[in-house]
Amino acid sequence: MNDSPPLERVNLSAFIRSPAQQPGKVAHMVTSTHETSHRIFQDHPEVLAPVFEALGLTPPAKADIEAITPDATEVKPLERRVDSVLKVVPSEGEAFLLAIEAQTRQAPDKGVNWSYYAAYLQAKFGLPVLLVAVCRNRGTAAWAAGPFECRVGSWPTLVMRPFVLGPDSVPEITDESVVTRQPALATFSAIVHSESRGIEAILNLLAHGMRSFNKDTASYWSELLEVGLENTPARDTWRELQKMVASFFPGRGTLIEETYLDGEAKGEAKGEAKGKAKGKAEAVLRVLEARGLPVSEAVRDLVTACGDLARLDELLVRAVTVAEAEELFGEATEGS
């Protein structure tokens, strides 16, 4: 069972501790993939374990990872920002910076920008920099590995070689126990493999593994994954599988948000308690149907006949966790 609060600092790795939440960026447009990478690396840096392993770095007994400003702006007309910048301070050895960039496609200017980021951060903080590119597309991942060179003739003045976390470097999760023990790594892996052929099996495994979570934990990871899947076909698959009870990402249009708000809107449009009850009842039925659960006429009649708004809110929460529609009212359904 995973009963830890979804936003609590996670310490699954012996050498990594989660950083404090970094303030949001201002006036900087990001995609959903960028948003998710920004969130997951700062809240759950244990997903960086593959980087340490691939680089052959010996995990220290203890290390603090601290989020620092991603602003690489020198003058006001020129704004440059890295998705996430983490400072790694091992208990043994020298500190260094991780500059993390989510890259969804090839971009001709990225080699220059990445070189600038690394040079600027090293000059500003006096620490060596490892730039990590997160890619879900294999072609983009191969391109992002570089090298990107600044050269004159045969002489390279500067060479940028990012470390890439992509489909070939992040393992697919095929063991359900990994989902329950390391939800951050499992979620991140699903995002990275969202364009892979086996993504449907990965998402099914993830959905089964999340059944052991408490409702808040399941809601958090379900929505984080949905936001990270962005506009891929895998997002539609996940929307059919996810079991959520509340929105941690308002305004992102996730399934539970659309279902609940649609019901609320229908009720408010009628401007009366009866209309609100009808809207919430429809939301309960929509959740059951979206999860693929058969809804008998007896259950449907009990839901639509309920006029207690507080009771309907309880039913909406139960609708995303019950194994079958008949369990919705508990003993009330059995005695009907």
Assigned token pair, 125: 């903080």
pLDDT of residue 188: 93
Relative orientation angle of helices 199-209 and 233-241, to the nearest 10 degrees: 30
Residue whose pair of structure tokens reads 């900087």 in the numeric block: 28
| Rounded (10°) angle between helices 183-192 and 32-43 | 160
The domains of the chain, with CATH numbers, are: 32-165 (3.40.1350), 176-241 (no CATH), 255-334 (no CATH)
Residue 147 preceded by cis peptide, ω within 30: yes
**CA 103/CA 144 separation, integer angstroms:** 8
Whole-number pLDDT of residue 264 = 53
Q: List, for residues 249-279, the tens digit of each pLDDT value.
A: 555 666 665 665 565 555 555 555 677 788 7
Tokens of 16: 């990594």
DSSP code of 89?
E
Cα–Cα distance measured from residue 113 to residue 98, given in angstroms and rounded to the nearest whole number: 15
Q: Which of 97-106, 113-122, 231-240, 286-295 has the lowest mean pLDDT?
A: 286-295
Residue range 28-36: mean pLDDT, rounded: 52
- Residue 58 reports pLDDT greater than 70: no
Q: Which residues of 91-107 are buried (b: 16+ CB within 10 A; e: fewer)?
A: eeeeebbbbbbbbbeee
When pLDDT is averaged across residues 135-145 and rounded to a whole number, the result is: 95
pLDDT digits (tens, 9 = 90+) for 183-235: 989 999 999 999 998 999 999 899 888 877 877 788 888 888 888 888 889 98
What's the number of CA atoms in the CB half-sphere (13 Å) around residue 280? 21
* CB half-sphere exposure, 212, CA atoms < 13 A: 15
Q: How many helices (H) and strands (E) does the chain have?
A: 14, 7
Model pTM score: 0.60
Contact present, 271 and 308 (Cβ < 8 Å): no
- pLDDT above 90: percentage of residues in the chain: 25
| C-beta of residue 210 within 8 angstroms of C-beta of residue 179 | yes
